[in-house]
Structure 1
Amino acid sequence: MARKRNQFKANNKMRNLITKLNPKSPISEQYRTIRTNIQYASVDNDIKSLLVTSSGPSEGKSTTIANLAVVYAQTGKKVLLIDADLRKPTVHYTFRLDNLRGLSNILVGEHTLDETVNPSDVENLDVISCGPIPPNPSELLASRKMAAFIREATTAYDIVIFDTPPVLAVADAQILANVVDGSLLVVRSEHTELEAAQKAKEILEPAKAKLLGTVLNGREKKASNYYYYYGTN
């Protein structure tokens, strides 16, 4: 029974990266549409750093960001995906990393970017996990060390994508939205309350990073088992 549960969990994690496992599926095509919409939304300014957040938990932001990173990498861009959710990290599960060291180690000066980066099994895609969960996530993300790290990462990579905590839960996403080039808000169909989505949008809009759009996640296509993911400006 335990073996079946573990296999079920492993299969769930594999399905999260549908853009890698089934790049020709309708869902994968929708992730490519999101990528294209981001490019059109930022036509006058090259997006080198992007954060993805949600209003609350269980809205699909981590699945969205992992697949978005894959479709960027599939274009030949050198991509770095960073788990900046220093409270409830998930990226290391998706990419099956040990999470012994990561972003938190960089921000306290224990390790460098080169020492923490993990090549994934997707060509052109590298990953930095959260690392040990620190007692002061917001302070670390707002530090000069973080700003310097972003400059270093965006010099080494074509695009750097950050997974952040839900914007209504803590200040972390709002902090990072002031030091990256763009932000993306994920909402889930029939789950996210309209008031929560509007509040999240109001929080992100004043930030220095442009709110590029919203991804509607989990909307079922009728007469099909597929779920559509798509972005709007």
Structure 2
Amino acid sequence: MLSNNQCGSVAGCGTVDAIHAVRLLLEKQREKQKPVYFAFRDLENAFDCVPWEVIWYALRRHSIPEELIEWARILYSCPTSRVRTPAGTSMDFPISVGVHQGSALSPLLLVIAMDAITRDLQRAAPWTLLYADDVMLACEDKAVLERQAQAWCDRLALFGLKLNVKKTEYLTTDVNEHGSIKINGTELSRVTSFKYLVSTVTSDGSLKLEVNARVSAAWSKWRSLTGAL
């Protein structure tokens, strides 16, 4: 059974639930006049890089019957791919990592793998939220958040997954706090707003940027349909 932190490929749960959880956390912390620190983490090509052995390990950790695991393994037996370029198409070459593109099973396999290898690192929602390979970590203490972020990076690397540090960003509601946190010695980019899934989250909890973005998108779509300038 997947943890309650995962909102991707889970029946009755989706992006709206994850976004609402983040906004509710911001609101509650503001009411209590307590700061909150966020790390929005981005994995590098997780769908293309997750090792198959990690998938089989994760399925067993979730008590999936061995017969079903064997059926999944059959789907991944001896796959090949080719690259098409303007100069022509390459020869077939073997594939040994990643889930199949376009397969309805692929998102679920990745979600199960993510849950199995990070379950003990996950805090209760909404302090840890996952949507497939999107990870949000939150904490009331900056130093603790930094340790958690490093622990996640180390764990993912142990299982063949890589954190894209350049695209991982740090946000805090503490206006008196300066600087950022570090992962592997690299300081994360500090932002005042972040596009979390399909919604803009801001350090002050305001919805102004989100409303403006939606209005702008609606006008842009209307103009493209009507031809108006």
Q: Considering the TM-score relative to the shorter chain, is it more than 0.5?
A: no
Identify the TM-score tier after normalising by the shorter chain.
under 0.3
> Normalised by the size of structure 1, how large is the TM-score?
0.27
- So what's the TM-score if we normalise by structure 2? 0.28
